[in-house]
Structure 1
Amino acid sequence: MATLAPEDFPQMWQRPSYEELFAILQSLELSPPVWNHRQKQSDILAHQESLATQRKAEVTRYISSVISSPLAWIDDYDKQEALWELASKRMSERCGRTAMGEVTRRWPFDGDGVACEPFELIIKEPALTGDSLGFKTWGSSYVLSQHLPRLAATSLFKLFDETLGQPPPTVLELGSGTGLLGVAAAALWQTHVILSDLPNIVPNLKDNTEKNKSLVESRGGSMSVGPLTWGGEEDEIDQELFGEPFQFKLVLAADPLYDDDHPALLSSAICQNLALGSESRAVVMVPMRDNITRTLLEAFKQAMLDLETPLFCEEESELAGEDDWGDDEEEGQVKCWLGIFSRGGSPLAT
């Protein structure tokens, strides 16, 4: 069925059966793309489409014919409703991410640099309505996730040095969103990661940790989730998880800057939660999409220095990645700034 050309689809005037129409509509599903920083951009943006869906105009017209048809020959209103609903979903998939509604994507990890088999993480993104920043898996989170094993072996070596006989540190992720980075950290670093975000983002975040719990635990990691609003009131912060300051030797944040308040709020949140002592580290990644993003990044770096107890950028580098796919499908390569901060201000090299 999936290999049929659009002109071979059963037409409404042919009065196809419910089963025929349902199978065709199922075959036309468009799955969202998955980034892979090793692929060419043309491959990254390619939808996982069947041969039938590559001729988009014809397919769109066909789906529209199902939606507009009364389907009077199907003598079951529930079946008619099911076909209209499925056809509407197929149409929305062709109208950009915002119209697509809820999606679930699999994110592959090949295990390079660590002694592990390849694995996939399953991440659900709710429909992007209203304030949706935390419901979208942003490109830099996958870039940083892929980079975690190398960080543990280099810049963060002191925190993961098995010869010292210490367990790996408990990690806090600020602004976890859909949870890709935090879940990957728990799996790749084989440690406990606490994921956090605004209260309205937390339910989906918990769902995603549950979806990946078995895999993470099989690799020696574990996860907790709780609300942590930067600069928020007590009822916006999980006091059991975050009520005590300076708990975490390692703090992560990816793509956290979107308005003028964020640099100061993020720097304060890092300062309040990062453990005291020169060995603690905060790892922050910011995609440099445009002048606004670059300005926010510079404001954040200055805000870290302006803290009562400054946080110094020990290392900074750039990683190439793919930006997030959107309604206009004009995504492309983006440079992601990576900074590693500490309270000490002294070089990490030993």
Structure 2
Amino acid sequence: MISADPDEPIHVLDLPQIHTKPSGTELIQALSLLTTKPRSFGLKAPEAVRAQAVHPAGIARYLTSIISSPLAWLDTEELREAVWDAAAARLSERSGRTAMPAMSRVFMIPTSHGEEYTLTLHEPSLTSDNLGMKTWVSSYLLSIRLHSLLESPPQLVPTATTTPQLHPERTLRALELGAGTGLVGLSFAALRGPSASIHLTDLPAIVPNLAHNAALNVELLNRTGATVTTGVLDWSVPPTPLPTPAEQYDLILAADPLYSPNHPKWLVDTVTHWLSRGLNARVVVEMPLRDAYLPQVQDFRQRMGQLGLAVVDEGEEVGYDDWESADGGALEVRCWWSVWGWSEKL
């Protein structure tokens, strides 16, 4: 029998057993109690979230007993499918982050005036070739830093030198590269409101979910007066024709952008094409310092310097991703954030 006390652990034998032919409602209720959400992001190690404590012994066997049962006593095929789907989801949740089904996640983004903005992001189930569908901790860390980055020197202001034909009080134009689920760009849009517009970009397979997430947050974006667009931008393909000064951006954002030896060159080439040559133009990046990718981080720094950009501000911080470490604990990730500007300004 399931206890009504949420603090009292449940034993798997207290759950409705298949041999007793429980109702579909009872099974779905029991399976909801076994829901395991991914670890949340944060500046300290979080715990995985469960609806109620359940002794782990026997849970996998319990779930497979439901999946393997024909559930013939349930009235409809739809009800049987709902029970099987829920049991399969609970089993996949216990098989690591990459096995989890599609989910919606909620992020709280601080503002300079003490309010927090709430963003909801959809993440499809993960496969090895669509890791851009996942929100990464460096994106979260950059998003919660944006309100202070944008209001401390050097100011991120529209550049008069980029498009002199426009009014000097025009809105700031921002571009996010490798936007993924859109957390950084959508946070920026809500924080800046009508004072900026932002174009969120990624590869063709990722952009539909990116656009979906922009639509999910339309109420916040409308309330803050934000302007957001989405589109495809492949760093490996030079734009044809090259962007005119009027088409370039005052600010480029990127989080966790380096995954192969080619990425530093492609990323800096893309910055070359799309960043305004105005002296107030900025590039803001945050990336994890993973041992395997430290050469790419160094390559990125060197290429940015060769382009004529220099670090205006930088720092390191530690966050916790929703992957698990080898011992099952929260995975600590050390990240480097930096703000770049044209070196002639410094």
> Which residue identity is paired with 2:296?
L
Structure with a larger share of its residues in helix: 1
Q: Could you tell me which residue of structure 2 aligns to residue 81 of structure 1?
A: 81
Contact 1:314 1:345 in 2 (8 A): no
The TM-score normalised by the length of structure 1 is 0.86
Asked if residue 27 in structure 1 is aligned to residue 30 in structure 2, the reply is no
1:123 to 110, 121, 124: 121
Partners of 1:314 and 1:346 within 8 A in 2:
no
| Letter of the structure 2 residue corresponding to residue 103 of structure 1 | M
For the Cα contact (< 8 Å) 2:189–2:221, is it kept in 1? yes
- How high is the TM-score relative to the length of structure 2? 0.87
The alpha-carbon deviation at position 215 of structure 1 amounts to 0.5
1:32-181 equivalences under 5 Å are 32-37=38-43, 40-41=44-45, 44=46, 46-52=47-53, 54-111=54-111, 114-115=112-113, 117-159=115-157, 166=169, 168-181=171-184
Gaps of 5+ in 1: none
Distance 1:198 1:341, change over 3 A: same
Asked whether the equivalents of residues 213 and 222 of structure 1 are also in contact (C-alpha less than 8 Å), the reply is: no
Would the alpha carbon gap of residues 135 and 227 (structure 1) be closer, same or farther in structure 2, given more than 3 Å must change?
same
Instruction: Give the drift of 1:211.
Output: 0.4
Structure 1 residues 126 and 158, CA, compared in 2 at 3 Å: closer, same or farther?
closer
**Which residue identity is paired with 2:205?**
N
Alignment of 1:110-259 (within 5 A): 110-111=110-111, 114-115=112-113, 117-159=115-157, 166=169, 168-190=171-193, 191-232=196-237, 243-244=243-244, 247-259=248-260
Cα deviation, residue 167, structure 1 = 5.2
Deviations 1:251-282 (A, max 9, x none): 10111011100001000111111111211011
Which one has a larger percent strand, Structure 1 or Structure 2? 2
Matched residue pairs, number?
329
Alignment-mate amino acid for residue 201 of structure 1:
I
The residue aligned with 2:272 is 271
Contact 1:178 1:205 in 2 (8 A): yes
Judge conservation of contact 2:39–2:322 (CA < 8 Å) in 1.
no
Whether the 8 Å contact between 1:97 and 1:327 is mirrored in structure 2 is no
- Please, what is the CA RMSD of the aligned residues? 2.5
Question: Could you tell me whether the CA contact under 8 Å between 2:189 and 2:197 is conserved in 1?
Answer: yes
C-alpha separation in 1, matches of 2:153 and 2:324: 33
- Give the aligned residue type for 2:50: E
Residue aligned with 2:49, SS: coil
- Greater Cα shift, 171-180 or 328-337: 328-337
Q: Which amino acid aligns with 1:224?
A: T
Compared with structure 1, are the counterparts of its residues 158 and 259 closer, same or farther at alpha carbon in structure 2 (3 Å cutoff)? Answer: closer
Find the aligned partners of 1:11 and 1:341 in 2 and give their Cα distance: 60
Identify the residue that residue 318 of structure 1 maps to in structure 2: 316
What residue identity is the alignment partner of 1:334?
A: V
Q: What is the alpha-carbon distance in structure 2 between the residues aligned to residue 222 and residue 283 of structure 1?
A: 19
